[in-house]
Each structure stands twice: as structure tokens, then as C-alpha cells.
Amino acid sequence: MTDRQSPQGARLYGVGLGPGDPDLLTLRAAQVIAKADVIAYHSARHGRSIARSIAAPHLTGEQIEEKLVYPITVETTDHPGGYRGALEEFYEEAAARLAVHLDAGRTVAVLAEGDPLFYGSYQHMHKRLAHRYPTEVIPGVTSISAAAARLGEPLVEAEEVLTVIPGTLPEEELTARLAATDSAVVMKLGRTFPTVRRALERAGRLDEARYVERATMPGERTGKLAEIDPDGVPYFSVAVLPSRINHPKPEPEQGEVVVVGTGPAGPLWLTAEARGVLAAATDLVGYTTYLDRVPVRPGQVRHGSDNKVESERAEFALDLARRGRRVAVVSSGDPGVFAMATAVLEVACQEPYREVPVRIVPGMTAAHAAASRAGAPLGHDYAVVSLSDRLKPWTVVAERLRAAAAADLVLALYNPGSKSRTTQVGLARDVLLEHRAPDTPVVMARDVGGPTERVRTVKLGELDPAEVDMRTILLIGSSQTQAVQRGNGTEVVWTPRRYPEPSSEREG
């Protein structure tokens, strides 16, 4: 409601009519419709208005009716502003027509199917008029609630998340959102139905999907979305992914193992694909610390273990899959970078596991996460080396450090130290100083994305091993890497994309 002086008696109403059945109109909506001076409603060019038909029992016959007829119904138009321009012009004209009545002191009720502010046409009038006149929005039962009621299945339960998606999104975006969420409702089907169906299939959720057409209205139809003929699917239809708790995904004919990268820390670093895999799994297998980052879902079985039993963990996961389970092996960072993907594939290439399907779902690496916090230290060629000598001798580590340093590569050093490994950082520093200047920038990034995150830059010659532990990653600059103080007092580290030519080539 606005504080601006308005004509006496003028009032704008956005009236939610519910999903279609006139009996689902709220008492407040019926009262406002019956008393309004002006009844406004949108319609296509054919002139028929579903909104008006729902409200018809409450019209008096003496009210002024404003029919707001859309100039276009598809995205083809010769309007100079294109489809959006044509609609904007229409909304401006419609708002101006309603403003004439409001300026005359009349009450204007704009009818809206479902809820006025939920994908409703009324909102375009609201944005143009509500700041100018006293306004009341009367909520209505949404098509989502009606669809769930007609299916007789809960939409969400406990900590599940419901995602509402317009079917007009690109297929890739639809697929990502459907894969990542627990439950979903896809609106605006009609001509988008084939795209939505493909997205559901690509997200691995077509078997769960339900279809509701014209909920609570004449011609209502429900069923499995996979069995719906795409020809003739109307705009007033929705796709529904109900609660997984209430409607668990059927057991597959064959189990599988998916090694999932969860990124360096919490859910902000998780990809949509990874979220979907974790939600769909029957079993989660992993190092207990990493499993604790994954939300608990009813019905899932969690198998935590110590961090030093990778091969045993992989074999356990593959055994579960052989029994028809969908197993997600949880790995921090990216599973293919010093993590569980190699361990799983090593066992999966042996009997009796050769026939078990194995997929790898990537994740944000610790090196890339740390680099983003510092600036762009990995902006040119770089090498990734683990300082752990638990699975390879230190002599090999030292040789690789010398080779990478001699090639003037930026280095990302994983697993630099632990309670039982306290000498590697100092030894690595001394090896690198054979080829790098003491003032070479070193990014020390600890617990990136976590509650105790700390990222700072030191000089290679001043790198203190006592300040480095297993949760730290080190990014060692090349001869070209720069650490620069910017105007706001922050320091950024970056490696130029161009590398200088050797002097002999310049002379030639």
C-alpha cells in the first residue's frame, strides 16, 4: 500500500482464484469479486478467459469488465522490441486502462488463476500500480498444491527441498536443476514438454516423474510422465517429482558405483550433478569426515571408515554394487586428484568386479579453490605434486620437484605435512630454492571454504614448515608470478599468461 494521496474509494485488488475449481476460491476472494466496481482479467485473442469462468458465480452483472487481451501468444512478432517489447507495451497499456478506473475512485479486482504473485499475470499490474494506489493481494491455492493433492503424494518431507522450475528454461539448465534437487515441479509445459521430458531422462529421474493436467478443472488427467503423448499437452499442466521419502526410486536392475567429488569444503562447492548422485544413492561410502559433509537422507545407508583404507573402501563399495545397490563413494575435492577415483578403478579392473559399472563425477579441486582465493596464481602452466611419501619414496618426490622447478612451472603441493610427516615441507622448500628466487610468492591456503579458512602469501625463502599441516595446500609461484598490493590494501597473486621468449630466440 502506498502513502501517496489516492482518490477516495480507489483500491486495487490482486485476487487469487485457485487452480480452477470455483469451490477452491477463498472466502475473501469471493467477497472482493462480488463487491468490486471493476473486474479485470487476461485472455488470449480468442477472448475466452479461464479466470473469468472461475469467478463467474460471484459476478453481479452490473460490474464494469475490463478484458485484457494479449496481443501475442507465441514468441514471434513484428514488434520492434521483439516478444518482450510487445508484452511490455501491452502491460503498460493495460495498467493505464486500470489507472483510469482507480483515478475515478473505483475498486478494481484483477483476477489471477492460482496465486496472484506466483507466475501470475497480475504481478505486471502490481509492479505498475501498487505504489500509486492502496492495494491488497489475496492469495490463492497454487497449481502446485492442486497437483500434489490430485496425485495424492507428498511433495516434500523432513529436510527435503522443493524446486519450482519454468519449463521454458534451456534443456541443460533444466537437467542440472532436476538432477540437483530432492523434489520439483516443472511449470509451463505445453510446447516445452518434449524438452522437459528429455531433461528428466538425462537427469535420471524420468521414472519418478508424474504428470498432472488441468488439476481440479474439467478434463483433468494424471499419470506417469514417461507414458504421456507429447502431442496435445496443454499449457495448464505440470511435471511433478514427488518426495523421495514417500516415493523412493525403484531399485535398478544392476547396481553401480559413482565416485563423487564434493569439492574442498561445504555445499557451496558442490556441483548440481554431484548433488543429484548423492541424493539418488542407496548407500554412501567414504572417509567419515567427508561423509559428515553430506546431508542425512531417510532410507540411505552410510558406511564411514578411516582415511587410510582406500582399497578396502573401494572393494566394499563394489561389493555393494554387485548386490544391486546404487553406491556413491564420497571424495573431497576432485575424486581423480590424489583421491578415491584411482582406488576404485584399481579394484574395479580386477575380478570379480570387472562388470560393475563405475562412473566418476568431478568436483572442485583444492588447488583451484585455493587459487581463486589468492587471485590467479595458476594462470599459466603448472604442475601438481603430492609431498606424501606414504605411497611413493621421497627420492621420487624430490626428482619431480626438481624437474618442475627447472621447467619454471607453478607448483601446487598437496598433502604437505601431517603429525607423522614433519620434514617434507622443509625439504621441498630447499629443493625449490635451487631453482627459484627466495622472494618467489607462495600461497598458503588452509581449510579453503571451511570455518577456519586462512589464505596468505609468504616468500619461498621464509616458508615455515611449522605453519603447514595436512589441511594446507601450497601454491609455489614461477619466476613470472607476481604478488601485488592493490589500491584497497588487498594483495593478489597472479601468473601472467604470456611467457617471455628465451634470449637466444629473441636475438635470432
Q: Which amino acid is residue 161, in one-letter code? A: V
CATH number at residue 227: 3.30.950.10
Q: Are residues 319 and 440 in the same domain?
A: no
Q: Residues near 70 by Cβ (< 8 Å), separated by ≥ 6? A: 42, 43, 44, 45, 87, 90
- The three cell numbers of residue 422 are 614433519
- The three cell numbers of residue 56 are 463467474
Instruction: Determine the Cα–Cα distance for residues 409 and 381; give it in Å rounded to an integer.
Output: 6
Q: What is the pLDDT of residue 2?
A: 46
Residue 6 lies in a domain: no
Q: Which amino acid is residue 38, in one-letter code? A: V
DSSP character for 324? T
Q: Are residues 233 and 209 in the same domain?
A: yes
Last residue of a domain, one of 312, 342, 361: 361
Last residue of a domain, one of 213, 241, 269: 241
**Could you state, in chain order, the average pLDDT of each consecutive group of 10 residues for the chain (508 residues)?**
67 97 97 98 86 96 95 69 84 97 97 95 96 97 96 91 95 94 94 96 93 94 96 93 75 84 88 90 93 87 88 95 95 94 96 96 96 96 94 94 97 87 91 96 94 94 92 96 90 95 64
Q: Are residues 474 and 449 in the same domain?
A: yes
DSSP character for 182? S
Instruction: Determine the Cα–Cα distance for residues 351 and 464; give it in Å rounded to an integer.
Output: 47
Q: Are residues 389 and 347 in the same domain?
A: no
Residue 392 lies in a domain: yes
Q: Are residues 356 and 375 in the same domain?
A: no
For the beta carbon of residue 484, count every other beta carbon within 10 angstroms. 11
For the beta carbon of residue 281, count every other beta carbon within 10 angstroms. 25
Q: Are residues 129 and 210 in the same domain?
A: no
Asked if 132 and 101 touch (Cβ cutoff 8 Å), the reply is no
Q: What is the pLDDT of residue 250?
A: 59
Q: What is the pLDDT of residue 5?
A: 66
Coil, helix or strand at residue 391: coil
Residue 265 lies in a domain: yes
Residue 191 lies in a domain: yes
Q: Are residues 130 and 222 in the same domain?
A: no
Q: Are residues 396 and 436 in the same domain?
A: yes
Domain coverage including residue 298: 256-361
Closest CA to 15 of 3, 1, 27, 2: 27
Residue 55 lies in a domain: yes
User: How many domains, in total, are found in the chain?
Assistant: 4
Q: Are residues 222 and 262 in the same domain?
A: no
Taking the alpha carbons at both ends of the chain, their separation in whole angstroms is 77
The distance from CA 259 to its chain's CA centroid, rounded to whole angstroms, is 20
Q: Are residues 324 and 399 in the same domain?
A: no
- Measured CA to CA in angstroms, residue 474 lies from 258, 289, 459 at distances of 29, 22, 12
Instruction: Determine the Cα–Cα distance for residues 128 and 333; give it in Å rounded to an integer.
Output: 48
* Lookup result for grid cell 624430490: 398
* Lookup result for grid cell 579441486: 365
- The three cell numbers of residue 382 are 603448472
Last residue of a domain, one of 304, 336, 361: 361
Q: Are residues 45 and 161 in the same domain?
A: no
CATH number at residue 46: 3.40.1010.10
Asked if 367 and 473 touch (Cβ cutoff 8 Å), the reply is yes
Q: How many residues make up the chain in this entry?
A: 508
Q: Are residues 226 and 312 in the same domain?
A: no
Residue 508 lies in a domain: no
Instruction: Determine the Cα–Cα distance for residues 303 and 349; give it in Å rounded to an integer.
Output: 23
Residue 500 lies in a domain: no
Residue 507 lies in a domain: no
